[in-house]
Amino acid sequence: MRNDERFEIQRAFDLLPHVVGASWCAVWFRMNGIKKPTREEFREKTLEYLRLVEPVFDSYPNNEEFAEIIKYIKFRKNQEYIKIKSGENNEIETRYDRYVDYG
């Protein structure tokens, strides 16, 4: 698969974790009055909200024409989840720092 064929999916996975996951997560903690969640709690809640968009990840038809992009989506999703859990997603870590500093 050429890079240009997966460009839009790459961009989506660059943005979805913090735009959807961490944003909804921060609002959840704020609305529940939790000012200082642990990093692990923030990461897990981020993953919880990111998982809500998983039906989109599975939305392409399961046929030969889409086989490569489906494989890439699964790979990239798993990589993003691992990065979030391990603290290697810098955007999530930045969102956590901002939340605990400014609530």
Q: What is the pLDDT of residues 20-29, one digit of tens each?
A: 999 999 999 9
Q: What is the mean pLDDT of the chain?
A: 95
Tell whether the model's pLDDT for residue 47 goes beyond 90.
Answer: yes
Q: How many helices (H) and strands (E) does the chain have?
A: 6, 0
- Cα dist from 76 to 32, 37, 102, whole Å: 31, 27, 31
Please state the pTM of the whole predicted model. Answer: 0.92
Please classify residue 41 by burial: count the beta carbons closer than 10 Å to its beta carbon, then call 0-12 exposed, 13-18 middle and 19+ buried: middle
Q: Are 91 and 22 in contact (CB under 8 A)?
A: yes
- pLDDT-derived band at 5 (thresholds 50, 70, 90) equals confident
Under the banding of pLDDT at 50, 70 and 90, the label for residue 100 is: very high
Given a cut of 90, is residue 2 above it in pLDDT? no
